[in-house]
Amino acid sequence: MEQPDAKNVELSREIGELKEKRRAVILAHFYQRPEVQDVADFVGDSLQLAQQAAATDAEVIVFCGVYFMAESAKILSPDKTVLLPELEAGCPLADMAAAEAVRARKEEMPGCTVVTYVNSSAAVKAESDIVCTSSNALKVISSLPEDKPILFVPDGNLGNYVSRMTGRTLTLWDGYCHVHNRLTSEEIKAARAEHPGAPVVVHPECRPEVIDLADHVASTGGMLKYVRNSQASSFIIGTEQGMLYPLRKACPDKNFYPAARHMLCPNMKLTTLEKVKWALVDMEPRIEVDPEIRLKARRALARMLELS
């Protein structure tokens, strides 16, 4: 077994001491570096982390993820200090929808229900009626009245998947996750040929033609549940490669292969143990959300959490 890096061991020890001193909780997304996941109190997908942020009694939340995730934590826990170790960790998908553009589209669709994927800015969430994640998007859409048009923001691939699965007509925003959108059907076929018999599990942010070739479609948290319950011994995983680490930890007797080697999110890899440590030392960078935006966005997030 590979020995832990001595520097990481020392940093992890220091982070543990600082965490106790600051009365902090560390949350990490599945796509984070392995060593960052290992120092977290809770590792999960976007829905799980949103719930954890709302439930924690810690005074400080260190969010190892990207900017919109830390914003969501601040929206749900306005009285807590929320730290994002790397302020430049953004999300190109979230950047594809601006609040002004969403307001303009709403004017073109009077009376519509705006469903916004959690991968979005606080300002866009504030323009929304309800938020969803990849794990509960089907439930959210199914809960809405059928006599009102629905605008789905910002991931068009996820919206397409939800529309097909629920039979509901959605007006889709022209946005996408650059990591998942790059995965092609040809790459899925090549992975199957290299690992015959291994089920293909992909994220619903993938293209429709990729989803059509998959054996199972799930959020990151859903992938973990699926592989734990499956009798298969090997799996082809169609999501950001950081997910392979928690899958291998959960099922060390099973094999996991990336659907394509290019599925890496640079933003998710910006957070390091050094940055986590210094965030706790300096209590910076702090995430703040305008109070008016926060209240509106909180209503949309609360509606989602009520369905969970």
- pLDDT tens-place string over residues 249-303: 999 999 999 999 999 999 999 999 999 999 999 999 999 999 999 999 999 999 9
174: burial class by Cβ within 10 Å (0-12, 13-18, 19+)? exposed
Residue 247 lies in a domain: yes
Separation of alpha carbons 88 and 196, rounded Å: 40
Give the bridge partners for 42, in sequence order. 27
The CATH number linked to 245 is 3.40.50.10800
Residue 308 lies in a domain: no
Its domain, for residue 133, covers 93-175
Dump pLDDT digits (tens) for 123-176.
999 999 999 999 999 999 999 999 999 999 999 999 999 999 999 999 999 999
pLDDT of residue 3: 57
End-to-end CA distance of the chain: 39
Residue 103 lies in a domain: yes
The stretch 224-253 carries a mean pLDDT of 98
The number of folded domains in the chain is: 3
Separation of alpha carbons 34 and 288, rounded Å: 28
- Closest residue by Cα to residue 186 from 217, 215, 213: 213
pLDDT of residue 48: 83
Burial 233-272 (b: 16+ CB within 10 A, else e): eebbbbbbbbbbbbbeeebeebebebbbeebebebbbbbb
Token pair of 21 as six digits: 């001193």
Dump pLDDT digits (tens) for 183-211.
999 999 999 999 999 999 999 999 999 99
Residue 299 lies in a domain: no
Residues 223/240, Cβ–Cβ less than 8 Å: no
SS3 (DSSP) at 200: strand
pLDDT of residue 1: 41
Query: Residues 67, 100: one domain?
Result: no
Tallying the residues shown for the chain, one arrives at: 308
What pTM was estimated for this model as a whole? Answer: 0.94
Residue 74 lies in a domain: yes
pLDDT of residue 223: 97
